[in-house]
Amino acid sequence: MNLNIRSNYRYAIACPTSMGVRITPEDRMAVHNSKRFIMQATSAESNVLNISSSLGKECLVLSKFIKGSPIADFIKSELRARNICYEGVEVEQGGPWGYRHQFNIADSGFGMRAPRVWNDRAGEVGRTLCADEFDLERIFGQEGVGILHISGLIAAMSEETTKCCLAVAEAAKKYGTLVSFDLNYRATFWKGREEELRDAFHRIASVADVLVGNEEDFQLCLGFAGPEAGGKDLSSKIASFQGMIQQVKEKYPNTKVFGTTLRQVISANEHLWGCLVLADGKWCVEEPRPIPVMDRIGGGDGFTGGLLYGLIQGWEPEKCMQFGWASGVLAASSLNDYGEPADEKQIWDIYAGNARVQR
């Protein structure tokens, strides 16, 4: 599959994002009765980059930081350790009630106890992200970026981030960078801004080369009819998913790759996991199969990250889909909300179902 990804790039993938931290109880305890927590740097967009960065590709985060904040220092250290470069202005905190980095408080769930996630985002500095804070001509024109990845989370976070994502996408297209857009609908972000965001998401989707979302994303972000809820297992709904994506393709003919994940929850520890990819006019289907789950958060980002890595590598669509499916499984098998493969073989062993010990 030839997507005409520019060959002279420094960064394989770049993304605008609002970085924060995620705290998760140890040993899959619930938040309200746990006394020990694991902390990591996080954002949906940087999690997508993590597959490529772990496999040796240089990637770039465009963000914003609190000057002198130990949380900002922690985030930067984590990004460096994950082989992800970062750029972003530093702003003064402005006192105890000023700016800060978001906190994501996550319960992984266990058995029939469902996961729960609380977002604490008041005063989040990333909500003020502005395209003028970055030298886009240098980043996209001189250094070069293979794929710009935008998530619906950062695109919908505030009026400022919406404008930022539109401007960065425009700059990327100007310099021949491909645009990936994961719709990532969140009702709390859209409340009171439905008409404005529907227009903005349509504009980004119109320039996207890669468009990813689940059935809810395509329906609520872009207004398409999706599969009926309930009553059928995932496998029997695949034709409905394909019909929905075909509608999306007709409205966005410039998009070259469409992807969606398929998930059915058996318990917090077991899901049925599949995916669909439409590229080069051909369908690639990974039928849902059972996977063990450590923490489900980040599985979709893992899929998108694996898919984009395959596209960067110039693989055929089916291989990209398979790698994306297995990268999502890898993310779901970790308490971190991102996949961090040791090498490509680890991903392909997951796809093959080969969990034999490696010596």
Give the chain's mean pLDDT.
95
The order of strands in the sheet holding 103-107 is: 37-42, 20-25, 103-107, 116-120
Each residue of 202-215: pLDDT tens digit?
A: 999 999 999 999 87
- Mean of pLDDT values over 312-340: 97
Residue 347's alpha-carbon distances to 72, 196, 241, 277, 317, in angstroms, are 31, 39, 26, 18, 16
Identify the pLDDT of residue 215. 76
Identify the pLDDT of residue 42. 96
Identify the pLDDT of residue 214. 84
DSSP 19: -
What SS3 class is residue 207?
A: helix
Given a cut of 80, whether residue 304 has pLDDT beyond it is yes
Judge residue 181's burial from the number of C-beta atoms within 10 Å of its C-beta, 0-12 exposed, 13-18 middle, 19 or more buried. buried
Identify the pLDDT of residue 352. 96
User: In sequence order, which residues have a C-beta less than 8 Å from that of residue 7 and are 6 or more positions away?
Assistant: none
Confidence of residue 154 (pLDDT cuts 50, 70, 90): very high
Given a cut of 60, whether residue 242 has pLDDT beyond it is yes
Confidence of residue 1 (pLDDT cuts 50, 70, 90): confident
Burial 39-61 (b: 16+ CB within 10 A, else e): ebbbbbbbbbbbbbbbbebbbbb
- Mean of pLDDT values over 184-189: 94
pTM of the model: 0.96
Tokens at residue 174, please? 């100007």
Three-class DSSP labels, 229-292: CCCCCHHHHHHHHHHHHHHHHHHCCCCCEEEEEEEEEEECCEEEEEEEEEECCEEEEEEEEEEE
- Mean of pLDDT values over 281-298: 95
Beta pairing, strands 20-25 & 210-212: unpaired
Q: Which amino acid belongs to residue 209?
A: D
User: Residue 129 and residue 19: Cα distance in Å, rounded?
Assistant: 11
DSSP 224: -
- Mean of pLDDT values over 283-300: 96
Identify the pLDDT of residue 117. 94
Identify the pLDDT of residue 355. 85
Each residue of 245-260: pLDDT tens digit?
A: 999 999 999 999 999 9
The number of helices, as runs of H, and strands, as runs of E, in the chain is 12, 15
Identify the pLDDT of residue 33. 94
User: Residue 324 and residue 306: Cα distance in Å, rounded?
Assistant: 4
Each residue of 65-88: pLDDT tens digit?
A: 999 999 999 999 999 999 999 999
Given a cut of 90, whether residue 329 has pLDDT beyond it is yes
Each residue of 217-238: pLDDT tens digit?
A: 999 999 998 776 554 577 778 9
Closest CA to 214 of 138, 148, 145, 275: 275
SS3 content of the chain, % helix, strand, coil (to 5): 40, 25, 35
User: Residue 116 and residue 229: Cα distance in Å, rounded?
Assistant: 22
Each residue of 103-149: pLDDT tens digit?
A: 999 999 999 999 999 999 999 999 999 999 999 999 999 999 999 99
Q: Which amino acid belongs to residue 325?
A: W
